[in-house]
Amino acid sequence: MQVNLRELRAADRAPLERAIRSTGAFNEEEVAVALELIDAGLGAQRVDPYLFVVAADERDEAIGYSCFGRTALTDGVYDLYWIVVRDDAQRFGVGRKLLQATAARVRELAGRMIIIETAGKPEYAKQRAFYERVGCKLLARYPDFYRVGDDKLVYVFYP
Amino acid sequence: MQVNLRELRAADRAPLERAIRSTGAFNEEEVAVALELIDAGLGAQRVDPYLFVVAADERDEAIGYSCFGRTALTDGVYDLYWIVVRDDAQRFGVGRKLLQATAARVRELAGRMIIIETAGKPEYAKQRAFYERVGCKLLARYPDFYRVGDDKLVYVFYP
């Protein structure tokens, strides 16, 4: 599968919404937040706290993306807010490529650390396995954070 | 010292800026963020993610405040963004009263957990001692988060 990594464009919104929904991992509030950030990333504002890397297929259709930004009040910490790959494009290393491209952008911006928050619930086992496979380290666990029985896990990736 | 806990009002902005600066604990970026949240709290928007409790002295002048809000994507978690007491009004239990009033508001809103992030640097020893004295539990430590040598500490308070 040929994958091209590039900037976010307005035409990506619909395919990225399909990619987000295709994973089955996000509830409606989460989908809404993800789309808000995409809209902010497409906005006219120049001082945008949301940065994006988009993965596009050979027809230049967006099949996944990462959304990240500098963490306020830190010197060189970035939060990876979302990393999504359309379900039928998974298993081709697209997520790893997105993370590597994100890390390269963060390095250019003098970032020292990428923080990734994810959930401990069973439905997120695939996501946790991905983060661990690509070299993220578990930094903290907040018991019952998202809801009772669903912990928050915080990973760090050193770019 | 007689302390009254009440809602945020427009006239509180200047005294609260004095209170924030009086502590000597915040740099200019931190002061700017604190004031942005106060301005958001004073804004016309009804669906405001920032909630406030203000501590006022016997002349109704604001001498401290807490700023908190629901944590997105969680069921019943609140973040305590700021809790500030003017330096010459400290040691009278105002911080503890603000935290208790904040916890009461969070309980009314069906909150289960209040998350407090603070810094590990020596200048914040007084803040950490406060959180530990009033019953917050250390949940996580992120090494070198704010800057190299300045960890992030995450406390939880059960309202």
Domains of chain B: 4-157 (3.40.630.30)
**Number of other CB atoms surrounding residue A6 within 10 Å:** 14
pLDDT of residue A49: 79
Q: What is the pTM (predicted TM-score) of this model?
A: 0.81
Joined together, the tokens standing for residue A44 give: 């006219």
pLDDT of residue B44: 58
The answer to whether B152 and B117 are in contact (CB under 8 A) is yes
The answer to whether B68 and B104 are in contact (CB under 8 A) is no
**Number of other CB atoms surrounding residue A98 within 10 Å:** 24
Among A29, A77, A148, select the one facing B145 at the smallest CB separation: A77
Give the pLDDT confidence of A32-45 residue by residue, as tens digits: 999 999 998 888 55
pLDDT of residue B43: 82
Give the pLDDT confidence of B81-108 residue by residue, as tens digits: 999 999 999 989 999 999 999 999 999 9
pLDDT of residue B47: 53
The answer to whether A136 and A116 are in contact (CB under 8 A) is yes
Among B29, B30, B75, select the one facing A147 at the smallest CB separation: B75
Contact B146 A73 (CB under 8 A): yes
Q: How far apart are CA B103 and CA B105, in angstroms?
A: 5
Q: How confident is the model at residue B134 (pLDDT cuts 50, 70, 90)?
A: very high
> Is the interface score ipTM higher than 0.90?
no
The answer to whether B136 and B156 are in contact (CB under 8 A) is yes
Q: How far apart are CA A56 and CA A12, in angstroms?
A: 9
Joined together, the tokens standing for residue B101 give: 């009033």
Q: Which residue from A minimizes the CA distance to B146?
A: A74
The answer to whether B80 and B37 are in contact (CB under 8 A) is no
B51-56 and B4-6 beta bridge pairing: antiparallel
Residues of B in contact with A113 (CB under 8 A): 144-145
Written as tens digits, the pLDDT of chain A (159 aa) is 789 999 999 999 999 999 999 998 888 988 999 999 999 888 855 455 789 999 999 999 999 999 999 998 899 999 999 999 999 999 899 999 999 999 999 999 999 999 999 999 998 899 999 999 999 999 999 999 999 999 999 999 999
Distance from CA of B75 to the nearest CA of A (A): 5
Contact B142 A144 (CB under 8 A): no
Q: How far apart are CA B90 and CA B70, in angstroms?
A: 27
Distance from CA of A3 to the nearest CA of B (A): 31
